[in-house]
Amino acid sequence: MNPSDHGEASAARRQFVQGLIWTVLAAALTVGLLIYALQPENPKADFYYVAAALAALAAVVNGWSAYQGYRRARTPPPSSSP
């Protein structure tokens, strides 16, 4: 294993972990905003729905980033031909 391969795997693992953390945080924010928007007689419900949609979009983007990091971290190194 080359030292550069270890660096790439480490970077991919870091991308996966950071993407996963941000996905969970964005999903929690989405749920919180939706709960707050659904309260009765909330005058700013539309604002919270839009904010929840943007937070959900951020969760999807960060989830995709985490998935790409996972794939890069799990991809076996190319075999060297003799």
- Residue ranges of domains in the chain: 3-74
Contacts of 18 (CB under 8 A, 6+ apart): 65, 66, 69
Range with lowest mean pLDDT among 52-56, 64-68, 73-77: 73-77
pLDDT tens string 22-65: 999 999 999 999 999 999 998 999 999 999 999 999 999 999 99
Reply yes or no on whether the pLDDT at 17 is more than 80.
Answer: yes
pTM, to two decimals: 0.77
